[in-house]
Structure 1
């Protein structure tokens, strides 16, 4: 699943809006994960899991791609078209695959 130049343009355009709030969006996406999949809370037994907690915000960078995409689409509905979502999904999957290949 290669990123086309069109995909890269989409990723760059939405990322310009996202980059100044990555910690906040990451934390919100992690909160969504806890709401959607309550059993995931067991992996964070020592965390303050209340909304907006510093621990959740710090951990927000390590989250599920789908939760992150939902968060972005809720923050930028006018910019997050199906094409942009597909491009971001390709991009984040590529990043995830690359990281997995290095550490697994």
Structure 2
């Protein structure tokens, strides 16, 4: 029987505001009683963000298209070993032989 992979705990649990807290925060920001919540995109280069989005849209299909059959097989074995811990696959995550 195969053992199931261990799930990693979240690095930092996200705490979401309930609706009443969110409403109070919005009113406080609108009236100037509280500092505005910083924008998540502040400090990011817009051209770099755009390039990243374009590359992300291509995904694995474009990568697989540019690889040889041997390279695709090696990549698939490495991914399999990383996901399921199969033995005998290539050096995925420094597996000991």
Report TM bin, short chain. Answer: under 0.3
TM-score in terms of structure 1 length: 0.20
Q: Which has the larger radius of gyration?
A: 2
Higher helix share: 1
Could you state the TM-score of these two structures normalised by the residue count of structure 2? 0.21
